[in-house]
Structure 1
Amino acid sequence: MVKIEGDWQGAINVPGQTLPVKVTFMEQTATISIPVQGITNYPLTNVRFDDPFLYFEMNIQNQKLIFDGSLQEEMIDGTFTQQGQVYPFELKRPGVREEVTGTKAEISVQGGTMSALIVKPEGEGPFPVMLILSGSGPTDKNGNSPLLEGDNNSLQMIAENLATKGIATIRYDKRGVGDNAALAMQLRGSVTQSRKKSFLQLV
């Protein structure tokens, strides 16, 4: 297991969508996180690694989900089986991310606490504020996605550049993503608007 120890990120490719997952392998055990389903560090069973072949199971809600794949350099790919349906999956080691600058802010929301990152210009305010949204899918507040190879940090760079122009920014991970992975649930418009107003009050 030493060869694969650590975090791996990727997705299960089910019809019509990709399901982001994170798998962490330890010396004798492993866990899986599926943010969009609110699953965090769920223990895996029957984990076997016979280089290059890898097999593990996830037993949940009286179902046995099977991952059967192999290690190919820095990638694990194979098949995911659930109730007789078979789909491909792929995992990669996450890249080393640049240090993120800013001040963390938290607000209480439906289902728990949501965090955001505020980047302010130097000097005394008040400053105009821009709310940066990360778009669709599992893209995080920095503009990175586990479905794409490598990190681009595009939204982080935008925030840092706007700070040099005298503009403060707020950006946050959506429910089910990054810092807010545990908040994986659908939002209604009224809740979304309330969340934005609450963060603006912290700037």
Structure 2
Amino acid sequence: MKKIHLVILLLVFLVQPTIGQELTGSWKAELEVMGQKIPLLFHFEKEDGQWTGKMDSPSQGAMGIPMSKVLFDGLMLAFEIGGGVISYEGLFVEAKIQGTFKQSGLSLPLDLLKVDDNARENAVQRPQEPQAPFEYEIIETHFVNSLGNRLYGTITKPQGAGPFPAVILVTGSGPQNRNSEIFGHAPFWVMADYLTSHGIVVFRYDERGVGESEGNFSQATTSDFAKDAKAAFAHLTSFDYVDKSNAGMIGHSEGGLIAWVMAANTENTDLKFVLALAGPVVPIPDLMKKQTEDVSRSVGNPKALVEQQVKINSRFYQMVEESKNLEEAKSQVKALVNEVVGTYDMSAELKQEQINNLIPALERSLNPWFYHFIRTNPEALIEQIQIPVFAAFGGKDVQVNAAQNGNRLVQLFQGKDDLLTLKVYPNLNHLFQSAQTGAVAEYAEIEETFNEEVLKDIAKFILELN
């Protein structure tokens, strides 16, 4: 046995110097989840002695998802996405990497196989993605948030000394980089290119724990992300080329909620306006109940199933709202699921299957971010706003319903109507793409990244404030 151990150690020692070079490039894998195989691609590079990586999930339309951490010692590979929301640990065995993929409490075997460096299976075209040469300056920069983390981003600035109108861009929920990359689209890159080409300075940045930015994404709440946005805005307005009399922010989805947070608390800031794109207006439990219904219908679920999903989610949100803390909420999940599923009109066997699936799913969702998010009431923030607001909704949005939120926003701005510019685009979805149904499954299939009519309206609103 000692001789065998010695041989293994020698082999490890001998292969380490050569394997380190072989990680660079693209690797493919198939993740098997509940009988379904999900193809994945991983891309690794080494720059200035540091490993970086991205993941593609072509079947889900998610391309270029940045890794927040990559560790490789020549034999063992470990990486994280979203500050640990997804993680992987593997070991080189001959020509492949054998390891374990972890996400949301699931732990699954996953082997990586090397492919051609240029392989981008099932890649889709994104005609709006900006192409060089650019007629504006691109400036890499960073700021420090309230925890001392450095958050890195990119400023696009028109040529000349300025001062110019300026905005920061704040992404929606989930770990996102400065381009807000999702389903193979880079909407914030498209938006920054358009606005800066029309005379507006734009600062977009990687969220904490994502891309180049430091920090822990998985433990942060909307309130924490709002603090980061405030620090980003202060950083942007510190430059002489920024017109502090015409500086604001644009937020999408959860970023729109952050727009309300910042607009309601403008003391000691130069914030002059906000733009909320598909931003929540009604109390979050009401928003989420409508979202459950709209999303379920968009995928063709029968009425009975839609009603079941709305019922369990509604009770779940109510329980979270009424709980004293996160731990109490977690302790009540099992009893809640058993009670609600017990009322379903189905066999005992199907009920048990539902219970077995729902309990771990709801328990996994109860993280600090979700607990804080569900207990948020945007209406209380919007009532305090005293600066100009541009709000936009897509008529086919199944995540933030245009009628529910747009109508309530009009009511909240009664008596200060002159501050509100409200736009509803009938044929656009949650990402402001021209859509057939608005279903989430369409996001990746649509070539348009961000509708140009909306971009024109955004630029017009900002430039006319000056």
How would you bin the TM-score normalised by the shorter chain? 0.5 to 0.7
- Alpha-carbon deviation of 1:198? 1.9
Structure 1 CA distance for aligned equivalents of residues 140 and 180 of structure 2: 17
Structure 2 CA distance for partners of 1:47 and 1:111, relative to 1, 3 Å: farther
Structure 2 CA distance for partners of 1:105 and 1:25, relative to 1, 3 Å: closer
Identify the residue that residue 197 of structure 1 maps to in structure 2.
Answer: 233
Identify the residue that residue 206 of structure 2 maps to in structure 1.
Answer: 173
Structure 2 CA distance for partners of 1:46 and 1:125, relative to 1, 3 Å: closer
Identify the residue that residue 69 of structure 1 maps to in structure 2.
Answer: 111
- Alpha-carbon deviation of 1:49? 4.5
Q: Does 1:161 align with 2:194?
A: yes
CA offset digits 1:153-199 (Å, max 9, x no partner): 33223212211211111111111211215443414256245324322
Structure 2 CA distance for aligned equivalents of residues 172 and 143 of structure 1: 9
Among 73, 82, 88, the alignment partner of 1:35 is 82
CA offset digits 1:61-81 (Å, max 9, x no partner): xxxx6633354967xxxxxxx
Instruction: Provide the TM-score with structure 2 as the length reference.
Output: 0.29
* RMSD of aligned Cα (Å): 4.2
Among 117, 120, 123, the alignment partner of 2:157 is 120
* Comparing 122-131 and 177-186, the one that deviates more: 177-186
Among 47, 51, 57, the alignment partner of 2:92 is 47
Among 106, 131, 134, the alignment partner of 2:171 is 134
Name the SS of the counterpart of 1:171 in structure 2: strand
CA offset digits 1:75-110 (Å, max 9, x no partner): xxxxxxxxxxxxxxxxx9xxxx97796212222221
Structure 2 CA distance for partners of 1:66 and 1:49, relative to 1, 3 Å: farther
CA offset digits 1:119-144 (Å, max 9, x no partner): 11112211111222232223321232
Instruction: Indicate if the aligned counterparts of 1:119 and 1:168 stay in contact, CA closer than 8 A.
Output: yes
Instruction: Provide the TM-score with structure 1 as the length reference.
Output: 0.58
Name the SS of the counterpart of 1:169 in structure 2: strand
Identify the residue that residue 61 of structure 1 maps to in structure 2.
Answer: none
Q: Does 1:102 align with 2:138?
A: yes
Question: Which is greater in Rg?
Answer: 2
Identify the residue that residue 5 of structure 1 maps to in structure 2.
Answer: 23
Q: Which has the higher contact order (CA 8 A, sep 6+)?
A: 1
Name the SS of the counterpart of 1:37 in structure 2: coil
Name the SS of the counterpart of 1:180 in structure 2: coil
Structure 1: runs of 5 or more not aligned: 13-19, 59-64, 75-91
Q: Determine which structure has the larger helix proportion and give its number.
A: 2
For 2:237, give the aligned amino acid. Answer: Q
Q: Determine which structure has the larger strand proportion and give its number.
A: 1
For 1:202, give the aligned amino acid. Answer: S
For 2:193, give the aligned amino acid. Answer: E
Among 212, 220, 223, the alignment partner of 1:186 is 220
Structure 2 CA distance for partners of 1:39 and 1:134, relative to 1, 3 Å: same
Q: How many residues align?
A: 162
Structure 2 CA distance for partners of 1:176 and 1:197, relative to 1, 3 Å: same
- Alpha-carbon deviation of 1:35? 3.2
Identify the residue that residue 99 of structure 2 maps to in structure 1.
Answer: 56
Quote the sequence identity (%): 20
Structure 2 CA distance for aligned equivalents of residues 132 and 21 of structure 1: 18
Instruction: Indicate if the aligned counterparts of 1:139 and 1:177 stay in contact, CA closer than 8 A.
Output: yes
Structure 2 CA distance for aligned equivalents of residues 66 and 21 of structure 1: 21
Name the SS of the counterpart of 1:191 in structure 2: helix
Structure 1 CA distance for aligned equivalents of residues 206 and 196 of structure 2: 20
- Alpha-carbon deviation of 1:32? 1.6
Instruction: Indicate if the aligned counterparts of 1:35 and 1:181 stay in contact, CA closer than 8 A.
Output: no
Structure 1 CA distance for aligned equivalents of residues 66 and 190 of structure 2: 26
For 1:125, give the aligned amino acid. Answer: G
